Structure 1
Amino acid sequence: MESIKRYLLAALFFSIPLYPKLTTLCIMGYALFTLVGFKKKNLSRLWDRKTLLLLAILYVLFIIGLSYTIDVQTGVSKIQTQASFFVIPFFFIDSFHGKEDRSYFFQWFNWGLLVTVLICFLNAFGRVFSNTGLYVVDAFSKKHNIFLYQEFSGVLDLHPTYFSLYLGLAIFYLLFAFRVESKYKPALRWTMIVIFFIALFLTSSKAGIFSFMLISFAYQLYRTIKMKKKSDKLIFPILILGFVLMFMANPLISKRTFQAFKSTQNFIVDEGQSNESTSKRFSLWHVSVKSIEEKMFLGYGTGSVNKVLNNSCIEFFSFSVCEGIRNNNTHNQYLNLALSNGLPVLILFVAALLLALFKAVSNRDALYVLFTLFFALNFFFESLLERERGVVFFMVFMVLLHTTSDIDTDPKKRYEE
């Protein structure tokens, strides 16, 4: 049974970026096997790990939120989508043992991600040869480069935002946790880094790319100053050169970045809204904050966010602006939780993130720190936990990193960082 469970875990990590339905089946199968041999001490382990306990409690509060939601059908769907908040901490709490397990399952994730990237590239090249061009034209007569943004990853129904998170985490692992955890050969390691780095920029996801840039630069600067190693000093200019080349080679991310700055400037000087993603986010955040003020304690109920935003938008913006942001969530995970289930739920969620960060810093666990900061930053720009791809990814790696963070207490055995 333990061997089967380990194979299921390997398949789970491999399938996360590649095929979500297989991931769901692996979780269900693993949970079933765990339930058969369930041990009461798992409950005490969950109780001792407050971060995971708080995330599990959030799911209970989501269920309670169904009792007063204004959109029952969507609320029930959200309960199904976000079941990983409870299932993964409860059934996976005793699944990972030591840094070797962390390395083993990260490698399975990286191999699955590599297959995902190769499929996207093969599909794009195939379309180029079959259509004899680099661009396609949509129903609105807009040209899209086959190698960029949604055109690149659409073959796997993979949104660029989630794709950028997968790639960012994989690069963090290969760059900063490789030396003490991985058995890859150096040539293979750098080949994967280059492939993932190129794919990251092809996603053209502003939040994913800029948050990766900010965190990787900050951490590498810390390493360069503190460690004072030649190898660390080489990584920093390589990162800078890589980012510069990618911005020059990808006109879409440059265009989207310029539009984001322009939208921000227009928002600050109150010059109106535009049909651009950053401008739409400002409108959604404004309506969200105003709506939260009406029901700060309980919110509007699980699954009610879209309907609340649709109903409230017209009070603050014109009909044309509201049509542009209709049927959207808040595009901010913190606002989404507060609007749906109230400030107490938001406080619990932020407390879980802070506890995770505190534990990672206390244990000098570089990879856990990078993971937590990466998600915490992206939560400001996307409601990542409203889709199964996001919540499964977040919870699986949260449990993996959290339960393997404090295995080695001897400073000599800790990460070199």
Structure 2
Amino acid sequence: MQSNGFIETPKKFLYPSDFKNLYKFYLPIFFIVCLLTYLVYKLKHVKINLKTIGLPEISIGVLILCEFLPPPTYNVALILGAVINIRRISVKKIVQNKINLFFIAFFIIYLLNNLFVTDKSYLHLGTVERFLPFLVLAIIIPSINNRKCLALFPISAILIGIGLTVTSIIDVFIHGNMVFLSFDNFSKYLHPVYYSYLLFFSILYIQFYYWEKFKYIILFILFCFLVFSGSKMVFIFTLLAFLIPLIKSKMIFIVIIPLAVIVLLFSPLKNRFYDILDENDFSILQEEKITDANDARINGLTFRLILWREALKTMHGVDYIIGKGVTKQTNKILENKLVNLGMLSHKNFNPHNQYIDTFWRTGIIGLLSLILIPIYSLVIGINKKDKLLILFCLFMLAVMCSESIFGRVNGIYFFTTVILILINTAKEINEDSYIRN
């Protein structure tokens, strides 16, 4: 953290006691290798028409694969995508779909707020930099009319999931504790909730557009990753979206029975649900000063309710129209409120609700602009009878209630890329035939 700082590592990473359980590690690894080999063998029969793939499609494909990787990669991918597609930019295509203009307008609202609402805010352009994908992608994606790029999201989810599972299994067998397959311990290198968003979309995409014999094996693997990620809301929403269309199908038992067994046996996920079911925890909302920063009553739900309340309490007068500002100075306002309340262990959190976060920072103008994007997209999806677009919009409308999804660049990239590609491309009658054949 300092210019002359260094990282000191222990001389040993593995100790003799670790080998008591480490030998068992080879069994799951062997299973994973066999499964991958089988999938690769089956995939060789899938025909891909390379003539339909050009540099524009490759650039967006690379961006999709990089969206959930470490920070420098997706920024570099966005820059390359913009450079490669700059000559293809068409104002006519941008204006043709209003959704592109809505994304651009949403970015402009944040830009203007950043420049004029807070004193000397021009010195703090971090938020505007984070929101740049809204502008850049809304300009370049309309010129790339290829929905098949979305198939790379499931590929990304599987590759990331396998990597996370292997590293977690190592931890499980060394330490002898299943907790290393759960939530932060499982995801390690990326936020588990954002990875859950990727898994949700991947499960729906495979369900709607993939028809190979091992389809349900892939779905089962993706659901396992979702269980390990531990996001309660995403898990329930995904389960409903996936199972409701299968109620009359015998295939529901192929997925639901083994999945139910995993959920019942996997204690970390059960504990995350139990944490929010105790009604006594709500008593913490009545306290003017919390004496214990690690109070057991602070769970995922009560914590969010406190954040929402404290953020809204800072607003007065004109704040309801233009907001408190989008810079880090606004974060300090909420941080001070949480410190005064006694929540020292949670002082650096954002409101954890995208609607409240946007309203708090940009006022009613920004909030209406935000809501317009998924609502308009939902209407388009209903008119086109596009199930994937409909479910994705409903999902985003729901998860924005419990998470400030634009607080991380991963959320901005994912939300923007999926909606722009789905709306700027026509839903073909046989759009899944390139996989089925």
Cα distance in 2 for partners of 1:329, 1:193 equals 33
What are the residue-to-residue correspondences of 1:9-408 with 2, within 5 Å?
A: 9-35=60-86, 37-39=87-89, 42-66=90-114, 67-69=116-118, 72=121, 75-96=124-145, 101-102=146-147, 104-129=148-173, 132-135=174-177, 145-154=179-188, 157-179=189-211, 185-187=212-214, 189-217=215-243, 219-220=244-245, 224=247, 232-238=248-254, 240-262=256-278, 266-267=281-282, 272=287, 274-292=297-315, 294=317, 295-303=319-327, 304-313=329-338, 319-321=341-343, 323-404=344-425, 406-408=426-428
For residues 198-256 of structure 1, what are the alpha-carbon distances to aligned partners after superposition, in whole Å with 9 as ceiling and x for unaligned?
A: 01000111232123234334x52xx75xxxxxxx5224445543553232122122111
Q: CA deviation at 1:327?
A: 1.6
Gaps of at least 5 residues in structure 1 are: 136-143, 180-184, 225-231
Q: CA deviation at 1:30?
A: 1.3
Based on CA coordinates, which of the two structures has the bigger radius of gyration?
2
Q: CA deviation at 1:90?
A: 0.9
What SS class does the counterpart of residue 328 from structure 1 fall into? coil
Cα distance in 2 for partners of 1:338, 1:117 equals 34
Q: CA deviation at 1:75?
A: 4.7
Cα distance in 2 for partners of 1:73, 1:201 equals 43
Cα distance in 1 for partners of 2:193, 2:421 equals 22
For residues 82-124 of structure 1, what are the alpha-carbon distances to aligned partners after superposition, in whole Å with 9 as ceiling and x for unaligned?
A: 111111011211112xxxx32x323222222211111111112
Quick one: structure 1 residues 259 and 305, their matched pair in 2 at CA, closer, same or farther if it must change by over 3 Å? farther
What SS class does the counterpart of residue 93 from structure 1 fall into? helix
Cα distance in 2 for partners of 1:244, 1:289 equals 40
Tell me, yes or no, if the aligned pair for 1:284 and 1:331 is still in contact at 8 Å: yes
Tell me, yes or no, if the aligned pair for 1:168 and 1:208 is still in contact at 8 Å: yes
The count of residues paired between Structure 1 and Structure 2 equals 370
Cα distance in 2 for partners of 1:21, 1:234 equals 45
Whichever residue aligns with residue 342 of structure 2, its letter is S
Cα distance in 1 for partners of 2:303, 2:74 equals 32
Quick one: structure 1 residues 307 and 235, their matched pair in 2 at CA, closer, same or farther if it must change by over 3 Å? farther
Whichever residue aligns with residue 68 of structure 1, its letter is V
Cα distance in 2 for partners of 1:413, 1:107 equals 15
Q: CA deviation at 1:382?
A: 0.3
For residues 238-288 of structure 1, what are the alpha-carbon distances to aligned partners after superposition, in whole Å with 9 as ceiling and x for unaligned?
A: 55435532321221221111111226x643895657232222111001112
Q: More relative contact order in 1 or in 2 (CA 8 Å, sep 6+)?
A: 1
Q: CA deviation at 1:320?
A: 1.9
Cα distance in 1 for partners of 2:285, 2:210 equals 47
For residues 381-415 of structure 1, what are the alpha-carbon distances to aligned partners after superposition, in whole Å with 9 as ceiling and x for unaligned?
A: 000112111101111111111112x454xxx6699
Cα distance in 2 for partners of 1:212, 1:75 equals 38
Tell me, yes or no, if the aligned pair for 1:10 and 1:105 is still in contact at 8 Å: yes
Cα distance in 2 for partners of 1:51, 1:120 equals 35
Equivalent residue, structure 2, for 1:140: none
CA RMSD of aligned residues (A): 2.7
Quick one: structure 1 residues 112 and 413, their matched pair in 2 at CA, closer, same or farther if it must change by over 3 Å? closer
